[in-house]
């Protein structure tokens, strides 16, 4: 299907697809089993300039946007959602700087990220602040020309591997969310440590750890925007990044569908390929239709972001929840089509099913996304 990509976007997609098929697909099962972070793949992506597709040319990037990031994320996820997350998680950690950082901060950090020299991570979630992000406890106290951070961030993608962390912390606890601020913290900063690497159901090639701050001294120059803007920075970041989660989900769904179609053509039962059975054909047709619908919505919202549409909260939530629900359904159906083989690790569809599940949970559970969508719909109706 023609999605009206520009010439550069087509080249980016094709390059990402080539890397996914030639470099990631052959080692996806290996990294899923070992749970290692795929640094060799990150280096290939860096050498291919894919980390810079959404970063302006002024900071060493290719000058594209969220749509370009989505294209890369989708193609990589089609081969392995976990390995792809090293790339996508860096995009999430970069967005606060890209959207709200000062010129000095952009010049200091974005070129290294664009070259893939340093990965990034986004630190918002805490043990008591998941869906209820306003319940965060991490604090940042100003002392002279620095801030002192204390607290623990949980389930942070790329933690321990990334060099640049964007962190949301409270500078004024009395103000609640209006007292939150955003900071850039570099790996190696005194008082910053990492917890154990989490053992997960899926996306096992992705590093997930706690990030622990104990009297961690951060230069005042690393404050993003100004004090009290942290929650706004976080919300804007998530509105902008959720099409990327949708793209990851689409890639996982497409990967599962690819295997299901291929298997159906070669698996013979009752003397004929199971692809000749109408029951299987209908499953494949529904799966294919759902994937295309999810892709179209994800691309549409990504283009809205790049066009500078003022508020995309509703549409971004829609794309994330729909695509991730599709990924889960398509992956489960792919396992069903493969039957007993689909349940075995020798075949990749069980991994796609495990990887798909997290897309319904992180960056805002789908229940929260539905709350967001409904709230916007009701508000829009009241304005009429």
**Rounded-to-integer distance, Cα 145 and Cα 217, Å:** 10
CA triple 239-72-62, angle to 5 deg: 85
E strand or H helix that includes residue 168: strand 164-170
**Rounded-to-integer distance, Cα 115 and Cα 119, Å:** 10
- The count of other CB atoms within 10 Å of the CB of residue 215 is 10
Q: 36, 57, 363, 380: which one is catalytic?
A: 363
Q: Smallest Cα–Cα separation from 199: which of 209, 190, 189?
A: 209
DSSP state of 59: G
- The count of other CB atoms within 10 Å of the CB of residue 16 is 28
Q: Smallest Cα–Cα separation from 248: which of 182, 188, 320, 163?
A: 320
In this structure, are residues 368 and 295 in contact, taking their beta carbons and an 8 Å threshold? no
In this structure, are residues 157 and 90 in contact, taking their beta carbons and an 8 Å threshold? no
Per the annotation, the verdict on 363 as an active-site residue is yes
Residue-wise burial string across 52-81, b where 16 or more C-beta atoms lie within 10 A, e elsewhere = bbbbbeebbbbebbbbbbbbbbbbbbbbbb
Please list, in sequence order, all residues whose beta carbon lies within 8 angstroms of the beta carbon of residue 80, skipping any fewer than 6 positions away: 20, 24, 25, 28, 31, 32, 205, 355
E strand or H helix that includes residue 263: helix 230-266
DSSP, residue by residue, 190-252: TTEEE-PPPP-SS-TTS-EEEEEEEEEEEEGGGEESSTT-HHHHHHHHHHHHHHHHHHHHHHH
Please list, in sequence order, all residues whose beta carbon lies within 8 angstroms of the beta carbon of residue 174, skipping any fewer than 6 positions away: none
Catalytic residues: 363
């Amino acid at each position: 299907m023609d999605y009206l990509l520009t010439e550069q976007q087509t080249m980016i997609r094709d390059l990402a697809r080539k890397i996914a098929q030639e470099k990631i697909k052959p080692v996806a099962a290996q990294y899923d089993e070992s749970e290692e972070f795929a640094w060799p793949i990150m280096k290939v992506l860096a050498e291919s300039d894919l980390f810079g597709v959404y970063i302006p040319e002024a900071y060493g990037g290719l000058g594209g946007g969220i749509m370009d990031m989505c294209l890369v994320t989708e193609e990589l996820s089609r081969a392995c959602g976990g390995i792809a997350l090293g790339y996508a998680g860096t995009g999430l950690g970069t967005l606060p700087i890209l959207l709200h950082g000062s010129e000095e901060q952009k010049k200091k950090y974005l070129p290294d990220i664009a070259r893939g020299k340093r990965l990034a991570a986004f630190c918002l979630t805490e043990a008591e602040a998941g869906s209820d992000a306003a319940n965060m406890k991490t604090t940042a106290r100003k002392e002279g020309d620095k801030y002192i951070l204390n607290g623990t961030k949980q389930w942070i993608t790329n933690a321990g591997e990334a060099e640049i962390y964007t962190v949301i912390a409270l500078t004024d606890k009395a103000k609640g969310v209006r007292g939150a601020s955003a900071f850039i913290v570099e790996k190696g900063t005194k008082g910053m440590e990492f917890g154990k690497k989490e053992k997960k159901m899926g996306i096992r090639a992705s590093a997930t750890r706690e990030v622990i701050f104990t009297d961690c001294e951060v230069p005042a120059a690393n404050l993003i925007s100004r004090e009290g803007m942290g929650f706004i920075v976080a919300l804007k970041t998530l509105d902008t990044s959720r099409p990327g989660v949708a793209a990851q989900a689409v890639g996982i769904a497409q990967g599962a569908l690819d295997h299901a179609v291929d298997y159906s053509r070669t698996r013979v039962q009752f003397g004929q390929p199971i692809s000749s059975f109408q029951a299987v054909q209908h499953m494949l047709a529904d799966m294919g239709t759902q994937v295309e619908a999810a892709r179209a919505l994800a691309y549409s919202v990504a283009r809205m972001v790049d066009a500078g549409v003022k508020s995309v909260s509703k549409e971004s939530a829609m794309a994330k929840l729909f695509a991730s629900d599709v990924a889960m359904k398509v992956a489960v159906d792919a396992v069903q089509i493969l039957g007993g083989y689909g349940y075995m690790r020798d075949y990749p569809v069980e991994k796609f099913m495990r990887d798909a599940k997290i897309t319904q949970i992180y960056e805002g559970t789908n229940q929260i996304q539905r709350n967001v969508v409904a709230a916007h719909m009701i508000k829009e109706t009241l304005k009429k």
